[in-house]
Amino acid sequence: MKFRTFLSTAGVLALTCASAPAADKDAADTAVEAAKKYAGTTISIVWEAGLQSLDPLNYSGPQWEKLTGIKVKVVEVPTDQMFTKIMQDFKSGAGAYDALNVIPSWMPDLARAGALEPLDKYADKFGYRDELQDIAAAYRDNQMQYDGKIYGFPDDGDVMLLYYRKDIFEDPKMKDEFKAKFGYELAPPKDWKQFDEIGQFITDKMAPKVYGAGFFRTAPYPQYMFQERFRMEGGKFFNADTMKATVNGDVGLKVFKQMVAENKFMPPGVEQWNFVDNLAAFLQGTTAMTISWPPYGRWAAGYGSGEEALKWVPKSQVAGKVGYALTPLGRPELGVGFDLSVSATSKNKEAAYLFIQWLNSKKTSLERVQLPYTLRDPFRLSHYASEKYRALWPDAPAYLDTIKTSGEKGLLDLSLLQQDKYDEAMTKAISSLWAGEDPKAILDRMAQQFDAITEKVGIENQKAVYKVWAAKPGAYPQ
């Protein structure tokens, strides 16, 4: 769908809904009506720089101003600077930001510091509780609250999916030869042993035209894949009694060795691949499997290929040939995500709240997760079931069903005080792995860094936060 057509259609819908009778008002309409008293105000919102910001800059921000008279100033900040900027604004008391995008794993730090405004009273005042129940449980139950209070509305259904080439997996000759060799059907791998066997088989048959798989390997994303695999193989990050790091045991070593070994059936130089390198290889048809976030699936189908903002995305050579599945072992990492929050130092708290309620509402969020050029992914039950979304390309129903199932089974990112420091330690460890260092030595160093961070934070403080996180259903596989 062309952006201009989509914008026009959505704008008409929004304006139509804004004039609906009071009895028919939903959370979006309620927010609009309540916000009109703040017409002439300007609110600021921190948003990830780049593609993500095109949503409030080109779409939702202008719509909100048209509906309410409130202007939206978008403060674009690179992801790796967002936490620091938000905390600096809070500590200084400057109040430069009204609304915030918050990565859920930061919530313990920000909530305990007092940097986030509790949202419960606003949700009750403006009738938003019911619509929150439509948010998929993986995000609603794990990413919305801290210490029993709502501090953010989950707004992005990030989760890792396995993408595979249906035309290769369903080729009769490949299927017969694979089953004859391994004794089971050629299908999306259920575990990492099958992943290795399938990947090596395809590489042996089709390389250099097509390799069995490819992954992004460079910082900062591979640490999320490590978090998933480590836990699914039985690993625990810490001893819950002492908070001593336990990432350097046998499980960590097994996972690190697996990650190095699988590079052998991936394209040469894969150790240096970033997000775009891996995307390009898969869309150009040179890898048969990969794992990434939901935008890969949309772009592989050719959705949004006419958008100016997506000119950097290679034209898909595999549209109609891509299947979607759970990652091996069936519990994919949710991987990052975003919440919408209100800054505790905002001078326009209610106006900021009403904007994020409208953004996050069933109606507006459904429009936003269909924007082809941003990276917001479906996160509501109504998104997965939307007939409009399911008609966007032939395999969209399978895509949405897989996102829904993956979210239901998803594993949470580790979320502790100063989580960014633990993430940095894991990221550096994986970079050392690709550089050829000894896996055990890397893991021992990572564990020492974990322990140093924990001691700096305070063992008892961190133990309390870890206990809460580890008790969540998405923390460790049951």
373-431 tens-digit pLDDT: 888 999 999 999 999 999 999 999 999 999 999 999 999 999 999 999 999 999 999 99
Question: pTM here?
Answer: 0.92
Mean pLDDT of 427-454: 97
Q: What percent of the chain has pLDDT over 90?
A: 91
* pLDDT of res. 80: 86
Query: Which DSSP string do the residues of 439-474 spell out, in sequence order?
Result: HHHHHHHHHHHHHHHHHHH-HHHHHHHHHHHHTSTT
Mean pLDDT of 39-52: 96
Query: Which DSSP string do the residues of 6-66 spell out, in sequence order?
Result: HHHHHHHHHHHHHTS-GGG--HHHHHHHHHGGGTT-EEEEEEETTGGGHIIIIIIHHHHHH
**pLDDT of 297 above 70:** yes
Strand partners, 42: 71
Mean pLDDT of 267-286: 96
Mean pLDDT of the chain: 93
Angle at which helices 192-206 and 172-182 pack, to 10 degrees?
Answer: 130
CA dihedral 346, 352, 357, 360 (to 10 degrees): -90
- Contact (Cβ atoms closer than 8 angstroms) between residue 301 and residue 393: yes
- Residue 299 amino acid letter: W
Token reading at 113: 């510091």
- Contact (Cβ atoms closer than 8 angstroms) between residue 31 and residue 354: yes
pLDDT-based confidence at 90, cuts 50/70/90? very high
**pLDDT of 119 above 90:** yes
- Contact (Cβ atoms closer than 8 angstroms) between residue 151 and residue 142: no
* pLDDT of res. 24: 54
Q: Which of 197-206, 362-371, 384-393, 468-477 has the lowest mean pLDDT?
A: 468-477
157-189 tens-digit pLDDT: 999 999 999 999 999 999 999 999 999 999 999
Q: Give, rounded to a whole angstrom, the gap between the first and last alpha carbons of the chain.
A: 42
Q: Which of 15-29, 194-208, 291-305 has the lowest mean pLDDT?
A: 15-29
